[in-house]
């Protein structure tokens, strides 16, 4: 019979730490700890396979699974010497989710399962502590009611808070046993009212409902959203971990906590975490009470603290990674409830990887593969400007939960954050976040909570998302309904309203009123520089270039390690305020000579831009794309022109002056100029400009444009080369679909290059002419095109549109439905469609290299900075990828991981 249920505890386990796919991360950790002799409460794991069977079988588990659960429960009862539902000394259980990949707070947990009216009395009698027993029962009804019976938690909270108010209890712990008994009765009445049934008294029925609730939580909207955000497959399912309860709420010699073996925010090698005395686990992570730093535990319970330090240190050495652990101390005895590889911020991931290599725990290849490429983005976040920060009012201080700076308008609910984010950056301000806030957290630049600690939901999720976060800002009181927060700052009470600007420092845990300027980070820091040096050593000859149009971007790209420019969009240079009038004059010209006069004024401007790029790259190649967009993009919109023509006869002198400035002409010329401009705009109108008169088609019909750009490129190259700087220009002709188009444009470029270089005495100067592969015909005839092209650069933005027949701008209108229905795994404009567009790319690479074996091949679309797309580019034999400057480190790491993965697969094949 196939095994679906795996027992653990008492120094043995059916599974082990390598069975994450079957047992989930939590179950695998519990099994491994049990085998290692770590004090773990006994239990059993219902495998992830059962979760999938549950959904396939109309939300029911197969009979053989139920039989195995009963057998595992019998084994656990024998191990613990207690019975589930036993009246005198009941076995109580926790039921927790646990997928292969950590999804903090996204799925359900139920504690104290097995309590009912009779077993609660037995627990009270057996422990001699009625208050403890009733506290456990009220917690169970509340948690079970929300998770398994779908009753709104606020209804339970209303009952609980009303009782506290009635007896004037300041803290939960001030409630007496009689108060808790009264709350329990009110809770049971609420359950009956909401479900029309009594609260279930049969313990095994409770277990069945709790198990099903855990499986159902796999497909809640927040869990689905989180998986999509973290790119976790929907098909893996979650395990359900059933474990004997141990209690941290049995008095002052009991407690519970969570922690990390290293600081998950900074990576510093310090013991990190929090605990609460006389509490259960959910009290810590839910932010209900502000916990104490874990170092304080050595003063409260020194023996348990020393044992915890020893166990967690051994676990880190065993797993050779940072451990995220949970523990409970029951009347002085320590129990470990969980260990798993800890989620950490980008800065922490890099530091831990470098430190662990230096400590001899892992190798350099392992270190490079430990950091997710997108995590590097967090190291490149801005910080608050120190000088400007001094001029702002610091209104709150909390715990630094996730580093970096965030500036935005305050929003006090996730729904409001989503709406406000459409208009600009947002900071989500909450009393505490819950898993239901995931959509608001996702759109926010930063997160601020009034309560909670460094292991609260807000802290853990923000770190995973790379969002700056401050938690436990006790001076902040949030009123979600009124959309404001009251803040006690320096003895004064101030009100923060929705939409007001605040600035957040997640590294220091500080909050400022107002909009602070931010500064860029230093990519040359020791840990980052060391880590990237290792990554580059494994990347080999695979290059990473940047898309940059101006010298400032080029310098930033070099700072982040770019090895050249893979795409300079020359049209971006024409949109500058001092250039657009000359560009428009060129477009309005009705003959070649007039057009050349306008281009002559643009020539020195382009030459200066190109010289700046060549100097910034200092010997690395610079790919310059000739004019690509349709000409109408450089002209005013037709509707605006018609309005201005209608307004002109009635416009004031001031309005006419503004019009003249806008259009770059004299006031007296407006009457004639505006109708001419409108006429030209209407002439240039296209029904489908994306496939219209653009790219090489413009260069063919207006060869003087290509000639001007080529002259600017090579005159700039000569100018910079004479300074002793090596220059490698690569001229790229866009939107080629036929080799004849490339022949036409290449001939113009070569003619101008020979003239300019010859006059400068640089006849042996090396340059390249190639093309952008962005329409399917170019890919299908790549062998012909490679006769002329010395390099290919795949423009995968347009290639995706033309291959899939899908507009990038319009796809967003139905993209969510496509992703929800699993028609596409991801947005094909963000992640390269390897099954479709990828095959077109691979085919073109093979055809091109068949004609020209030394053909240089790269990619310059947005996919060039997306990790899985970079891995694809490496696999199909490209020479480089090109992406935005801030994605360069991400692409460098993704390329290194692709190389290491390829080497590992090759080694496996050699030894097979």
Residues 6+ apart with CB under 8 A from 545: 557, 562, 563, 564, 565, 566, 567, 620, 621, 623, 858, 880, 881, 882
CA 778 to chain centre: 34
Residues 6+ apart with CB under 8 A from 493: 486, 487
How far, in Å, CA of 328 to CA of 456, rounded? 17
Pairing of strands 476-479, 484-489: antiparallel
How far, in Å, CA of 642 to CA of 631, rounded? 19
- Cβ count within 10 A of residue 314: 15
Angle, vertex CA 147, rays to CA 8 and CA 68, nearest 5: 35
Beta strands in 179-322 (DSSP E): 238-244, 255-260, 272-277, 292-293
| Residue 158 token pair | 């209303």
Task: Identify whether the C-beta of residue 562 lies closer than 8 Å to the C-beta of residue 545.
Answer: yes
Polymer length of the chain: 912
**Annotation says 136 is catalytic:** no
Q: 192 vs 189, 200, 203, 617, CA distance in Å?
A: 5, 10, 18, 73
How far, in Å, CA of 530 to CA of 538, rounded? 13
Kindly give the residue spans of alpha helices, DSSP state H, lying in 760-827: 776-780, 782-785, 796-804, 808-811, 815-820
**Annotation says 860 is catalytic:** yes
Task: Identify whether the C-beta of residue 634 lies closer than 8 Å to the C-beta of residue 693.
Answer: no
- Cβ count within 10 A of residue 101: 17
How far, in Å, CA of 725 to CA of 723, rounded? 6
Angle, vertex CA 244, rays to CA 205 and CA 307, nearest 5: 165
Task: Identify whether the C-beta of residue 341 lies closer than 8 Å to the C-beta of residue 264.
Answer: no
Task: Identify whether the C-beta of residue 90 lies closer than 8 Å to the C-beta of residue 114.
Answer: yes
Q: What DSSP state is assigned to residue 618?
A: T
Q: 570 vs 414, 550, 609, CA distance in Å?
A: 41, 9, 9
- In sequence order, the β-bridge partners of residue 329 are 255, 334
Q: 134 vs 94, 122, 175, CA distance in Å?
A: 17, 11, 11
Q: 840 vs 595, 834, 866, CA distance in Å?
A: 39, 9, 18
Q: What DSSP state is assigned to residue 500?
A: -
Q: 457 vs 164, 288, 418, 421, 612, CA distance in Å?
A: 25, 11, 19, 22, 48
Of 860, 863, 873, 883, catalytic = 860
How far, in Å, CA of 345 to CA of 459, rounded? 11
Task: Identify whether the C-beta of residue 31 lies closer than 8 Å to the C-beta of residue 19.
Answer: yes
Kindly give the residue spans of alpha helices, DSSP state H, lying in 385-488: 386-390, 414-420, 438-443, 457-465
Helices 177-195, 130-147: crossing angle, 10 deg rounding? 20
Residues 6+ apart with CB under 8 A from 48: 21, 22, 23, 24, 99, 100, 236, 237, 238, 239
Mark 362-371 as b/e (b = at least 16 C-beta within 10 Å).
Answer: bebbebbbbb
Of 381, 457, 632, 863, catalytic = 457
Give the residue numbers annotated as catalytic, written as ranges: 457, 860
């Amino acid at each position: 019979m196939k095994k679906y249920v795996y027992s653990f505890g008492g120094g043995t386990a059916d599974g082990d730490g390598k069975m994450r796919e079957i047992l989930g991360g939590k179950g695998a950790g519990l099994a491994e700890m049990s085998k290692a002799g770590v004090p773990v409460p006994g239990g059993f794991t219902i495998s992830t396979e059962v979760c999938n069977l549950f959904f396939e079988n109309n939300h029911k588990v197969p009979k053989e699974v139920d039989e195995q659960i009963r057998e595992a429960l019998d084994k656990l009862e024998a191990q613990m010497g207690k019975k589930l539902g036993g009246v005198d000394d009941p076995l109580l259980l926790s039921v927790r989710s646990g997928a292969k990949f950590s999804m903090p707070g996204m799925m359900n947990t139920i504690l104290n399962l097995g309590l009912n009216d009779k077993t609660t009395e037995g627990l009270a009698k057996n422990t001699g502590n009625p208050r403890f027993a009733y506290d456990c029962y009220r917690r169970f009804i509340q948690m079970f009611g929300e998770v398994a019976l779908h009753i709104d938690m606020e209804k339970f909270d209303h009952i609980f808070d009303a009782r506290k108010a009635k007896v004037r209890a300041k803290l939960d712990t001030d409630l007496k046993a009689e108060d808790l008994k009264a709350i329990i009765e009110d809770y049971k009445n609420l359950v009956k009212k909401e479900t029309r049934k009594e609260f279930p008294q049969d313990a095994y029925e409770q277990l069945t409902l709790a198990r099903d609730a855990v499986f159902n939580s796999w497909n809640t909207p927040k869990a689905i959203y989180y998986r999509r955000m973290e790119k976790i497959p929907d098909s893996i399912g979650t395990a359900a971990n059933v474990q004997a309860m141990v209690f941290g709420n049995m008095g002052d010699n009991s407690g519970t906590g969570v922690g990390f073996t290293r600081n998950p925010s900074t990576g510093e090698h310090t013991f990190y975490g929090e605990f609460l005395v006389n509490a259960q686990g959910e009290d810590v992570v839910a932010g209900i009470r502000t916990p104490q730093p874990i170092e304080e535990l050595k003063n409260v319970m020194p023996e348990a603290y020393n044992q915890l330090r020893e166990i967690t240190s051994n676990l880190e050495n065993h797993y050779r990674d940072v451990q995220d652990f949970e523990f409970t101390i029951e009347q002085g005895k320590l129990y470990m409830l969980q260990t798993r590889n800890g989620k950490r911020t980008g800065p922490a991931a890099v530091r831990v990887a470098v430190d662990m290599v230096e400590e001899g725990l892992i190798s350099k290849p392992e270190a490079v593969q430990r950091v997710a490429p997108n995590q590097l983005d967090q190291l490149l976040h801005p910080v608050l400007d120190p000088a400007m920060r001094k001029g702002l009012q610091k209104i709150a201080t909390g715990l630094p939960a996730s580093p970096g700076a965030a500036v935005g308008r305050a929003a006090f609910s996730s729904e409001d954050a989503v709406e406000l984010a459409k208009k600009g950056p947002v900071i989500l301000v909450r009393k505490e976040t819950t898993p239901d806030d995931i959509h608001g957290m996702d759109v926010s630049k930063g997160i601020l909570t009034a309560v909670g600690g460094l292991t609260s939901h807000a802290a853990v999720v923000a770190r995973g998302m790379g969002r700056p976060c401050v938690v436990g800002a006790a001076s902040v009181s949030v009123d979600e309904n009124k959309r404001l927060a009251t803040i006690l700052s320096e003895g004064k009470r101030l009100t923060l309203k929705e939409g007001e600007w605040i600035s957040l420092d997640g590294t220091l845990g500080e909050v400022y009123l107002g909009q602070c300027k931010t500064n860029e980070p230093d990519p040359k820091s020791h840990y980052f520089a060391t880590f990237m040096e290792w990554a580059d050593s494994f990347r080999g000859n695979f290059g990473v270039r940047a898309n940059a149009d101006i010298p400032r971007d080029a310098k930033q790209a070099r700072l982040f390690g770019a090895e050249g420019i893979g795409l300079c969009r020359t049209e971006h240079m024409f949109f500058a305020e001092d250039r657009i009038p000359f560009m428009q004059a060129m477009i309005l010209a009705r003959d070649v000579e007039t057009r050349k006069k306008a281009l002559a004024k643009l020539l020195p401007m382009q030459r200066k831009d190109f010289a700046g790029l060549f100097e910034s790259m200092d010997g690395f190649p610079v790919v310059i794309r000739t004019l690509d967009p349709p000409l109408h993009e450089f002209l005013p919109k037709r509707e605006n022109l018609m309005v201005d023509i209608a307004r002109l006869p009635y416009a004031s002198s001031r309005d006419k002056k503004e019009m003249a400035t806008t259009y770059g002409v004299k006031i007296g010329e407006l009457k004639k100029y505006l109708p001419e401009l409108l006429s030209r705009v209407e002439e240039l109108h296209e029904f489908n400009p994306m496939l219209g008169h653009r790219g090489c088609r413009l260069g063919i019909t207006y060869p003087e444009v290509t000639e001007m750009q080529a002259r600017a490129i090579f005159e700039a190259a000569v100018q910079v080369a004479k300074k002793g700087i090596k220059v490698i220009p690569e001229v790229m002709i866009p939107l080629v679909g036929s080799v004849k188009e490339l022949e036409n444009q290449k001939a113009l470029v070569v003619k101008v290059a020979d003239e300019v270089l010859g006059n400068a005495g640089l006849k042996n100067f090396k340059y390249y002419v190639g093309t952008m592969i962005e329409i399917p015909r170019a890919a299908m005839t790549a062998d012909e095109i490679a006769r002329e092209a010395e390099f290919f650069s795949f423009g995968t933005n347009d290639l995706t549109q033309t291959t899939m027949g899908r507009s990038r701008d319009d796809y967003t209108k139905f993209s969510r439905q496509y992703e929800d229905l699993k028609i596409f795994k991801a947005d094909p404009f963000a992640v390269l469609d390897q099954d479709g567009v990828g095959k077109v790319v691979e085919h073109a690479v093979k055809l091109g290299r068949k004609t020209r074996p030394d053909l240089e091949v790269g990619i310059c679309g947005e996919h060039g900075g997306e990790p899985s797309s970079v891995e694809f580019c490496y696999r199909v034999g490209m020479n480089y990828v090109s992406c935005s400057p801030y994605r360069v480190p991400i692409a460098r790491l993704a390329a290194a991981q692709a190389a290491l993965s390829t080497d590992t697969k090759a080694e496996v094949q050699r030894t097979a």
